[in-house]
Amino acid sequence: MAMKTILITGFAAFGGEKINPSWEAVKQLDQLIIDEHQLIARQLPCSFAESSEHLTKLLEELQPQIVLNIGQAGGRLDISLERVAINLDDARIADNLGAQPIDQTIIKDAPNAYFTNLPLKALLQVARNNGIPASISYSAGTFVCNHVFYTLMHWINTVNPAIKGGFIHIPYLPEQAAALGAQPSMTQETVISGLKTILKTIIATPKDISAVGGTIC
């Protein structure tokens, strides 16, 4: 059986940080093989214009069966499984190229939002059963993370609906949290373990389960 491909991406550091925990974790997974799927890890630039361009080139070049974008969400407590990408750039800070789009659509004449097609409820259940703090998130923000997530889901919906794709936010690393003071964090070992568990579950779960995973507000 031919080896299938998983594209997993992290981001370059931004906002004055020297590292980005998403790339620190993702680069450790490059070339790993999980259940006859080979992981290819790539770093995306933290810029609105370049990130979508880089991602699209990778999708065209690698033709992956699964795509998982990972990003930093400082202040979050756990691994956040993002459910929805919105067609909006509204940057609180400038990206690494100095761009700060305000109230701009990502792709003109495209839907207001896309939902991930990953089995989030199954991922949540398996992660928690394995002692990995996780939750389903209904906001990926309006910075470069959401921009990439929306670009991915638009590509899947318009070019290759057979691809499974989505976005995950992870907390600061402990060394970042210590420097910033009183911020939640997660060790790189826990993040990597969580990502491996999530990837195994994506491969093994063609259809999501029905389970509680929503929020009240």
Q: Is the pTM of this model over 0.95?
A: yes
- In the predicted model, what is the mean pLDDT of residues 82-90? 98
CA–CA gap between residue 43 and residue 27 (Å, rounded) = 8
- In the predicted model, what is the mean pLDDT of residues 189-196? 98
For every residue of 66-86, DSSP letters joined together read: EEEEEEE-TT--SEEEE-EEE
- In the predicted model, what is the mean pLDDT of residues 156-177? 97
23-79 pLDDT, tens per residue?
Answer: 999 999 999 999 999 999 999 999 999 999 999 999 999 999 999 999 999 999 999
Mean per-residue pLDDT of the chain? 96
Report residue 28 as tokens.
């450790």
What share of the chain in percent tops pLDDT 70? 100
Q: Which residues pair with 172 in a beta bridge?
A: 185
Is the pLDDT assigned to residue 216 strictly greater than 90?
no
Burial 54-67 (b: 16+ CB within 10 A, else e): bbeebbeeeebbbb
Report residue 183 as tokens.
């911020």
Q: Which domains does the chain have, with CATH numbers?
A: 4-204 (3.40.630.20)
125-159 pLDDT, tens per residue?
Answer: 999 999 999 999 999 999 999 999 999 999 999 99
pLDDT band for 214, please (50, 70, 90 cuts): confident
What share of the chain in percent tops pLDDT 90? 93
Residue 1: predicted pLDDT: 67
Task: Point out the residues that are catalytic.
Answer: 82, 145, 169
Q: Do 132 and 193 form a contact (C-beta atoms < 8 A)?
A: yes
